[in-house]
Protein backbone atom coordinates (compact mmCIF):
# COMPACT_ATOMS: atom_id res chain seq x y z
CA UNK A 1 0.00 0.00 0.00
CA UNK A 2 1.39 3.38 -1.02
CA UNK A 3 2.20 5.87 1.71
CA UNK A 4 -0.39 8.55 2.22
CA UNK A 5 0.46 12.07 1.07
CA UNK A 6 0.17 14.31 4.10
CA UNK A 7 0.13 17.79 2.61
CA UNK A 8 -0.39 19.25 -0.84
CA UNK A 9 0.62 22.87 -1.42
CA UNK A 10 -1.17 24.32 -4.43
CA UNK A 11 -0.36 27.40 -6.51
CA UNK A 12 2.61 28.45 -4.37
CA UNK A 13 5.57 30.41 -5.66
CA UNK A 14 8.16 27.67 -5.30
CA UNK A 15 11.60 29.04 -4.44
CA UNK A 16 14.69 26.84 -4.26
CA UNK A 17 18.01 28.73 -4.39
CA UNK A 18 20.01 25.51 -4.75
CA UNK A 19 18.43 24.66 -8.11
CA UNK A 20 17.39 28.16 -9.17
CA UNK A 21 13.72 27.16 -9.11
CA UNK A 22 11.35 30.15 -9.05
CA UNK A 23 7.94 29.35 -10.47
CA UNK A 24 4.35 28.93 -9.43
CA UNK A 25 3.44 25.32 -8.85
CA UNK A 26 2.56 22.57 -6.41
CA UNK A 27 4.47 20.56 -3.82
CA UNK A 28 3.46 17.31 -2.13
CA UNK A 29 4.81 16.05 1.20
CA UNK A 30 4.74 12.36 2.03
CA UNK A 31 6.24 10.61 5.07
CA UNK A 32 8.10 13.74 6.10
CA UNK A 33 9.83 14.12 2.73
CA UNK A 34 9.14 16.16 -0.37
CA UNK A 35 7.49 13.65 -2.70
CA UNK A 36 7.10 15.85 -5.76
CA UNK A 37 7.12 19.48 -6.81
CA UNK A 38 6.63 21.42 -9.98
CA UNK A 39 4.09 23.29 -12.06
CA UNK A 40 0.63 21.78 -12.25
CA UNK A 41 1.15 18.45 -10.52
CA UNK A 42 -1.68 16.03 -11.37
CA UNK A 43 -4.49 16.00 -8.84
CA UNK A 44 -5.36 12.52 -7.74
CA UNK A 45 -8.72 12.48 -6.02
CA UNK A 46 -7.75 9.25 -4.30
CA UNK A 47 -4.54 10.62 -2.79
CA UNK A 48 -6.34 11.32 0.46
CA UNK A 49 -4.34 14.37 1.51
CA UNK A 50 -4.58 15.15 5.17
CA UNK A 51 -4.34 18.80 4.21
CA UNK A 52 -4.48 20.69 0.93
CA UNK A 53 -3.40 24.32 1.02
CA UNK A 54 -4.18 27.00 -1.53
CA UNK A 55 -1.00 29.08 -1.47
CA UNK A 56 -1.91 31.65 -4.12
CA UNK A 57 0.19 34.76 -3.60
CA UNK A 58 2.47 33.04 -1.08
CA UNK A 59 6.04 31.76 -1.30
CA UNK A 60 7.17 28.26 -0.35
CA UNK A 61 10.89 27.85 0.31
CA UNK A 62 13.33 25.65 2.22
CA UNK A 63 13.27 26.43 5.92
CA UNK A 64 15.98 28.85 7.03
CA UNK A 65 19.24 27.42 8.38
CA UNK A 66 20.54 29.72 11.12
CA UNK A 67 24.22 29.07 11.72
CA UNK A 68 24.78 31.32 14.75
CA UNK A 69 22.47 31.06 17.77
CA UNK A 70 23.08 31.30 21.49
CA UNK A 71 20.63 28.99 23.26
CA UNK A 72 21.75 29.75 26.85
CA UNK A 73 20.95 26.17 27.88
CA UNK A 74 22.57 24.81 29.95
CA UNK A 75 23.39 27.47 32.52
CA UNK A 76 21.33 30.57 31.73
CA UNK A 77 17.84 29.20 31.17
CA UNK A 78 16.33 32.45 32.49
CA UNK A 79 17.46 34.08 29.24
CA UNK A 80 16.54 31.31 26.80
CA UNK A 81 16.12 27.55 26.53
CA UNK A 82 16.25 25.10 23.68
CA UNK A 83 12.44 24.92 23.84
CA UNK A 84 11.82 28.69 23.75
CA UNK A 85 14.48 29.24 21.08
CA UNK A 86 12.86 26.49 19.02
CA UNK A 87 9.48 28.22 19.30
CA UNK A 88 11.04 31.54 18.30
CA UNK A 89 12.88 29.92 15.39
CA UNK A 90 9.72 28.27 14.05
CA UNK A 91 7.85 31.57 14.26
CA UNK A 92 10.61 33.12 12.15
CA UNK A 93 10.67 30.40 9.49
CA UNK A 94 13.90 28.84 10.80
CA UNK A 95 13.88 25.03 10.65
CA UNK A 96 17.49 24.34 11.70
CA UNK A 97 19.84 26.23 14.00
CA UNK A 98 23.36 25.74 15.28
CA UNK A 99 24.24 26.80 18.81
CA UNK A 100 27.46 28.32 20.07
CA UNK A 101 29.39 26.43 22.76
CA UNK A 102 29.50 29.33 25.26
CA UNK A 103 27.08 27.73 27.69
CA UNK A 104 27.68 26.80 31.33
CA UNK A 105 29.29 24.32 31.29
CA UNK A 106 31.03 25.01 28.00
CA UNK A 107 30.38 22.55 25.17
CA UNK A 108 33.96 21.32 25.00
CA UNK A 109 33.44 17.59 25.49
CA UNK A 110 31.29 14.75 24.20
CA UNK A 111 28.80 15.12 27.05
CA UNK A 112 28.03 18.69 25.97
CA UNK A 113 27.33 17.73 22.36
CA UNK A 114 25.16 14.82 23.48
CA UNK A 115 23.23 17.04 25.90
CA UNK A 116 22.17 19.41 23.13
CA UNK A 117 21.17 16.51 20.87
CA UNK A 118 19.16 14.86 23.63
CA UNK A 119 17.35 18.05 24.64
CA UNK A 120 16.54 18.77 20.99
CA UNK A 121 14.98 15.30 20.64
CA UNK A 122 12.92 15.88 23.78
CA UNK A 123 11.69 19.28 22.61
CA UNK A 124 10.69 17.91 19.19
CA UNK A 125 10.98 21.34 17.61
CA UNK A 126 13.30 22.67 14.94
CA UNK A 127 16.52 20.82 14.19
CA UNK A 128 19.25 21.81 16.62
CA UNK A 129 22.96 21.27 16.05
CA UNK A 130 25.97 22.35 18.08
CA UNK A 131 29.45 23.70 17.57
CA UNK A 132 32.23 22.35 19.71
CA UNK A 133 34.49 24.71 21.61
CA UNK A 134 37.79 25.21 19.79
CA UNK A 135 39.75 25.50 23.05
CA UNK A 136 39.04 24.05 26.47
CA UNK A 137 36.69 26.20 28.53
CA UNK A 138 37.01 28.82 25.75
CA UNK A 139 40.36 29.71 27.31
CA UNK A 140 42.18 30.22 24.02
CA UNK A 141 45.10 27.97 24.96
CA UNK A 142 44.51 24.21 24.87
CA UNK A 143 42.73 22.68 21.88
CA UNK A 144 39.75 20.42 22.47
CA UNK A 145 39.46 16.88 21.11
CA UNK A 146 38.34 18.09 17.69
CA UNK A 147 38.26 14.67 16.06
CA UNK A 148 36.23 13.05 18.82
CA UNK A 149 33.79 15.96 19.03
CA UNK A 150 33.33 15.99 15.25
CA UNK A 151 32.60 12.27 15.35
CA UNK A 152 29.99 12.92 18.06
CA UNK A 153 28.24 15.54 15.96
CA UNK A 154 29.94 18.92 16.36
CA UNK A 155 29.51 20.71 13.03
CA UNK A 156 32.45 23.09 13.38
CA UNK A 157 34.65 24.61 16.09
CA UNK A 158 34.65 28.06 17.63
CA UNK A 159 35.23 29.87 20.87
CA UNK A 160 31.90 31.63 20.38
CA UNK A 161 32.06 35.29 21.34
CA UNK A 162 35.74 35.04 22.24
CA UNK A 163 38.56 35.60 19.77
CA UNK A 164 41.40 33.12 19.53
CA UNK A 165 44.17 35.67 19.84
CA UNK A 166 47.20 33.39 20.13
CA UNK A 167 48.56 32.94 16.61
CA UNK A 168 50.22 29.62 17.41
CA UNK A 169 47.00 28.22 18.86
CA UNK A 170 45.08 29.32 15.76
CA UNK A 171 47.71 27.81 13.49
CA UNK A 172 47.49 24.49 15.32
CA UNK A 173 43.68 24.63 15.35
CA UNK A 174 43.47 25.16 11.59
CA UNK A 175 45.98 22.40 10.91
CA UNK A 176 44.38 19.94 13.34
CA UNK A 177 40.84 20.66 12.16
CA UNK A 178 41.85 20.22 8.52
CA UNK A 179 42.80 16.59 9.16
CA UNK A 180 39.14 15.95 10.05
CA UNK A 181 37.69 18.16 7.31
CA UNK A 182 35.99 20.54 9.74
CA UNK A 183 35.83 24.32 9.81
CA UNK A 184 37.24 26.74 12.37
CA UNK A 185 34.92 29.68 13.06
CA UNK A 186 36.40 32.90 14.42
CA UNK A 187 34.84 35.86 16.22
CA UNK A 188 37.15 38.41 14.57
CA UNK A 189 37.88 41.20 17.03
CA UNK A 190 41.18 42.15 18.60
CA UNK A 191 40.25 42.15 22.30
CA UNK A 192 43.02 44.59 23.22
CA UNK A 193 41.68 47.19 20.80
CA UNK A 194 38.07 46.47 21.74
CA UNK A 195 38.62 46.44 25.51
CA UNK A 196 36.38 48.87 27.35
CA UNK A 197 34.76 49.85 24.05
CA UNK A 198 31.02 50.35 23.88
CA UNK A 199 30.25 51.19 20.23
CA UNK A 200 31.89 51.95 16.90
CA UNK A 201 34.72 54.45 17.21
CA UNK A 202 33.91 57.74 15.54
CA UNK A 203 32.11 61.04 15.77
CA UNK A 204 28.91 59.62 17.27
CA UNK A 205 30.76 57.78 20.03
CA UNK A 206 32.67 60.95 20.83
CA UNK A 207 29.48 63.01 20.95
CA UNK A 208 27.82 60.48 23.26
CA UNK A 209 30.88 60.25 25.45
CA UNK A 210 31.20 56.49 24.87
CA UNK A 211 34.40 54.52 24.41
CA UNK A 212 34.93 53.43 20.81
CA UNK A 213 35.88 50.16 19.14
CA UNK A 214 37.88 50.87 15.94
CA UNK A 215 36.81 49.05 12.81
CA UNK A 216 40.38 47.85 12.26
CA UNK A 217 39.99 45.60 15.34
CA UNK A 218 37.98 43.25 13.11
CA UNK A 219 40.04 43.12 9.94
CA UNK A 220 43.35 42.81 11.79
CA UNK A 221 42.28 39.42 13.16
CA UNK A 222 40.87 38.33 9.80
CA UNK A 223 44.05 39.28 7.94
CA UNK A 224 46.20 37.39 10.43
CA UNK A 225 43.98 34.34 10.23
CA UNK A 226 44.01 34.37 6.43
CA UNK A 227 47.81 34.12 6.47
CA UNK A 228 47.45 31.10 8.75
CA UNK A 229 44.87 29.55 6.41
CA UNK A 230 47.34 29.89 3.54
CA UNK A 231 50.01 28.29 5.73
CA UNK A 232 47.94 25.34 6.96
CA UNK A 233 45.37 24.71 4.24
CA UNK A 234 42.66 24.78 6.88
CA UNK A 235 39.02 25.73 6.44
CA UNK A 236 38.14 29.07 8.02
CA UNK A 237 34.93 31.00 8.61
CA UNK A 238 34.72 34.61 9.81
CA UNK A 239 31.54 35.23 11.80
CA UNK A 240 29.30 38.30 11.65
CA UNK A 241 31.61 40.54 9.64
CA UNK A 242 30.64 44.20 9.81
CA UNK A 243 33.22 46.37 8.04
CA UNK A 244 34.17 47.28 4.49
CA UNK A 245 37.77 46.24 5.14
CA UNK A 246 36.68 42.78 6.29
CA UNK A 247 34.52 42.26 3.23
CA UNK A 248 37.41 43.23 0.98
CA UNK A 249 39.85 40.95 2.84
CA UNK A 250 37.54 37.95 2.41
CA UNK A 251 36.94 38.87 -1.22
CA UNK A 252 40.68 38.84 -1.93
CA UNK A 253 41.16 35.57 -0.03
CA UNK A 254 38.48 33.88 -2.09
CA UNK A 255 40.08 35.17 -5.28
CA UNK A 256 43.30 33.47 -4.14
CA UNK A 257 41.44 30.20 -3.75
CA UNK A 258 41.67 29.95 0.04
CA UNK A 259 39.08 27.80 1.83
CA UNK A 260 37.34 30.71 3.54
CA UNK A 261 33.75 31.73 4.09
CA UNK A 262 31.92 34.30 6.18
CA UNK A 263 28.53 35.42 7.39
CA UNK A 264 26.92 38.60 8.58
CA UNK A 265 23.77 39.39 10.53
CA UNK A 266 20.79 41.66 9.73
CA UNK A 267 21.88 44.55 11.98
CA UNK A 268 25.02 45.01 9.90
CA UNK A 269 23.18 45.53 6.61
CA UNK A 270 19.97 47.10 7.96
CA UNK A 271 21.29 49.45 10.66
CA UNK A 272 24.26 51.69 11.29
CA UNK A 273 25.82 53.36 14.32
CA UNK A 274 23.15 56.08 14.41
CA UNK A 275 20.74 53.44 15.77
CA UNK A 276 22.50 53.73 19.11
CA UNK A 277 20.60 57.03 19.25
CA UNK A 278 20.14 58.21 22.80
CA UNK A 279 22.05 55.36 24.45
CA UNK A 280 19.78 52.53 23.23
CA UNK A 281 21.29 49.47 24.88
CA UNK A 282 19.31 47.15 22.57
CA UNK A 283 21.59 48.47 19.80
CA UNK A 284 24.75 47.54 21.72
CA UNK A 285 26.09 44.63 19.72
CA UNK A 286 29.32 42.72 19.22
CA UNK A 287 30.68 43.62 16.74
CA UNK A 288 29.19 47.09 17.13
CA UNK A 289 26.96 48.75 14.57
CA UNK A 290 29.26 50.46 12.10
CA UNK A 291 29.25 53.46 9.76
CA UNK A 292 26.91 53.87 6.82
CA UNK A 293 29.85 53.20 4.47
CA UNK A 294 30.48 49.89 6.21
CA UNK A 295 26.78 49.00 6.02
CA UNK A 296 26.77 49.60 2.26
CA UNK A 297 29.90 47.48 1.88
CA UNK A 298 28.22 44.60 3.71
CA UNK A 299 25.26 44.85 1.32
CA UNK A 300 27.67 44.81 -1.63
CA UNK A 301 29.40 41.74 -0.15
CA UNK A 302 26.10 39.93 0.13
CA UNK A 303 25.18 40.90 -3.40
CA UNK A 304 28.39 39.66 -5.05
CA UNK A 305 28.60 36.47 -2.98
CA UNK A 306 31.62 37.44 -0.91
CA UNK A 307 29.42 36.98 2.16
CA UNK A 308 28.10 33.43 2.02
CA UNK A 309 25.41 33.46 4.68
CA UNK A 310 23.12 35.56 6.83
CA UNK A 311 22.77 34.37 10.43
CA UNK A 312 20.55 35.77 13.17
CA UNK A 313 23.41 36.09 15.69
CA UNK A 314 20.69 35.45 18.29
CA UNK A 315 22.05 36.58 21.68
CA UNK A 316 19.22 36.73 24.23
CA UNK A 317 19.64 38.82 27.39
CA UNK A 318 17.30 39.47 30.28
CA UNK A 319 16.14 42.92 31.40
CA UNK A 320 18.81 43.16 34.09
CA UNK A 321 21.51 42.84 31.43
CA UNK A 322 20.14 45.57 29.17
CA UNK A 323 18.13 48.04 31.29
CA UNK A 324 21.30 49.59 32.69
CA UNK A 325 23.64 52.43 31.67
CA UNK A 326 25.06 51.84 28.18
CA UNK A 327 28.61 51.10 29.29
CA UNK A 328 27.33 48.45 31.73
CA UNK A 329 24.92 46.75 29.29
CA UNK A 330 25.65 43.35 27.76
CA UNK A 331 26.43 43.06 24.06
CA UNK A 332 23.97 41.28 21.76
CA UNK A 333 20.42 41.10 20.46
CA UNK A 334 17.78 38.48 19.74
CA UNK A 335 17.28 37.76 16.07
CA UNK A 336 15.46 34.51 15.30
CA UNK A 337 12.07 36.13 14.71
CA UNK A 338 13.38 39.10 12.72
CA UNK A 339 15.86 37.20 10.52
CA UNK A 340 13.49 36.66 7.59
CA UNK A 341 11.64 40.01 7.46
CA UNK A 342 14.75 42.16 7.88
CA UNK A 343 16.64 40.09 5.30
CA UNK A 344 13.73 40.53 2.88
CA UNK A 345 14.43 44.28 2.96
CA UNK A 346 17.37 43.49 0.66
CA UNK A 347 14.82 42.32 -1.89
CA UNK A 348 12.26 45.07 -1.32
CA UNK A 349 14.83 47.85 -1.66
CA UNK A 350 16.23 46.39 -4.88
CA UNK A 351 19.63 45.35 -3.53
CA UNK A 352 19.25 41.63 -4.31
CA UNK A 353 16.77 39.27 -6.02
CA UNK A 354 14.56 37.27 -3.68
CA UNK A 355 16.18 33.96 -4.64
CA UNK A 356 19.64 35.31 -3.79
CA UNK A 357 18.49 36.57 -0.39
CA UNK A 358 17.04 33.14 0.35
CA UNK A 359 20.28 31.50 -0.78
CA UNK A 360 22.16 33.31 2.00
CA UNK A 361 19.59 32.04 4.51
CA UNK A 362 19.33 28.42 3.37
CA UNK A 363 21.77 26.89 0.90
CA UNK A 364 24.69 29.10 1.95
CA UNK A 365 24.90 28.13 5.63
CA UNK A 366 23.99 24.51 4.88
CA UNK A 367 26.88 24.23 2.42
CA UNK A 368 29.38 25.78 4.84
CA UNK A 369 28.46 23.27 7.54
CA UNK A 370 27.98 20.25 5.27
CA UNK A 371 24.32 19.85 6.19
CA UNK A 372 21.93 18.11 3.74
CA UNK A 373 19.42 20.92 4.31
CA UNK A 374 18.40 24.18 2.70
CA UNK A 375 17.14 22.53 -0.50
CA UNK A 376 13.69 21.93 -1.90
CA UNK A 377 13.81 18.84 -4.09
CA UNK A 378 12.15 15.47 -4.31
CA UNK A 379 13.44 13.20 -1.55
CA UNK A 380 14.67 16.05 0.64
CA UNK A 381 13.33 16.56 4.17
CA UNK A 382 10.10 18.57 4.16
CA UNK A 383 11.64 21.41 6.17
CA UNK A 384 9.72 24.29 4.67
CA UNK A 385 8.56 27.83 5.30
CA UNK A 386 5.43 29.27 3.76
CA UNK A 387 5.62 33.05 3.82
CA UNK A 388 3.97 36.15 2.45
CA UNK A 389 6.81 38.30 1.09
CA UNK A 390 4.78 41.49 1.10
CA UNK A 391 2.75 41.34 4.31
CA UNK A 392 3.37 44.58 6.22
CA UNK A 393 3.78 44.55 10.00
CA UNK A 394 5.67 46.28 12.76
CA UNK A 395 8.22 44.43 14.87
CA UNK A 396 7.02 44.17 18.46
CA UNK A 397 9.44 42.34 20.79
CA UNK A 398 6.70 41.95 23.41
CA UNK A 399 5.07 39.46 21.03
CA UNK A 400 8.26 37.42 20.56
CA UNK A 401 8.26 33.78 21.56
CA UNK A 402 11.82 34.12 22.74
CA UNK A 403 12.24 34.52 26.51
CA UNK A 404 14.29 37.67 25.86
CA UNK A 405 13.09 40.79 24.06
CA UNK A 406 16.33 42.70 23.37
CA UNK A 407 15.83 43.62 19.70
CA UNK A 408 17.42 46.60 17.94
CA UNK A 409 14.51 46.47 15.47
CA UNK A 410 11.83 47.36 18.03
CA UNK A 411 9.08 49.31 16.26
CA UNK A 412 10.57 48.87 12.79
CA UNK A 413 8.02 48.54 9.95
CA UNK A 414 8.85 45.55 7.73
CA UNK A 415 7.39 43.55 4.86
CA UNK A 416 7.27 39.78 4.75
CA UNK A 417 6.33 37.23 7.38
CA UNK A 418 6.45 33.49 7.95
CA UNK A 419 2.95 32.04 7.91
CA UNK A 420 3.65 28.37 8.54
CA UNK A 421 6.81 26.44 9.33
CA UNK A 422 7.23 22.70 8.77
CA UNK A 423 9.96 20.33 9.94
CA UNK A 424 9.82 16.84 8.49
CA UNK A 425 6.34 17.64 7.21
CA UNK A 426 5.13 18.49 10.74
CA UNK A 427 3.59 21.91 11.32
CA UNK A 428 5.65 23.55 14.05
CA UNK A 429 4.17 27.01 13.64
CA UNK A 430 0.94 28.29 12.11
CA UNK A 431 0.41 32.03 12.31
CA UNK A 432 -3.30 31.67 11.70
CA UNK A 433 -3.57 29.03 14.39
CA UNK A 434 -1.38 31.06 16.73
CA UNK A 435 -3.37 34.22 16.28
Active site residues: 313
What is the spatial distance between Cα 219 and Cα 27, in angstroms, rounded to a whole number?
A: 44
Nearest CA to 64 among 423, 394, 304, 352?
423
Distance CA 100, CA 146 (A): 15
Angle at 332 between CA 100 and CA 93, to 5 degrees: 65
DSSP class of residue 374?
S
Those residues whose C-beta lies under 8 Å from the C-beta of residue 203, and which sit 6 or more positions away, are none
Contacts of 1 (CB under 8 A, 6+ apart): none
Q: Are residues 85 and 71 in contact, defined by beta-carbon separation less than 8 angstroms?
A: yes
Burial of 270 per CB tally in 10 Å (0-12, 13-18, 19+): buried
Chain center to CA of 78: 22
The alpha-helical segments, DSSP class H, found in 256-291 are 266-270
Amino acid sequence: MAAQAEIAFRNARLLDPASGLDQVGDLVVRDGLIAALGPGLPRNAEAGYKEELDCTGMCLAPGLVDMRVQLREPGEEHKETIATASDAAAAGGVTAMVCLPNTNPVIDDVAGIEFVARRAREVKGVKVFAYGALTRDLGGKELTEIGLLAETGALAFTDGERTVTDSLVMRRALSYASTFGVTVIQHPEDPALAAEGDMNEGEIATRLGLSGIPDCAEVMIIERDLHLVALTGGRYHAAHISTAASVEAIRRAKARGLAVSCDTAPPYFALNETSVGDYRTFAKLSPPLRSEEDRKAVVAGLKDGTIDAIASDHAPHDQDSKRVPFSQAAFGAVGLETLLPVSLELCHNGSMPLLEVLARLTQGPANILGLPLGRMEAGAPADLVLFDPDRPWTIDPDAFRSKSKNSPFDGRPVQGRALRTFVGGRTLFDRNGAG
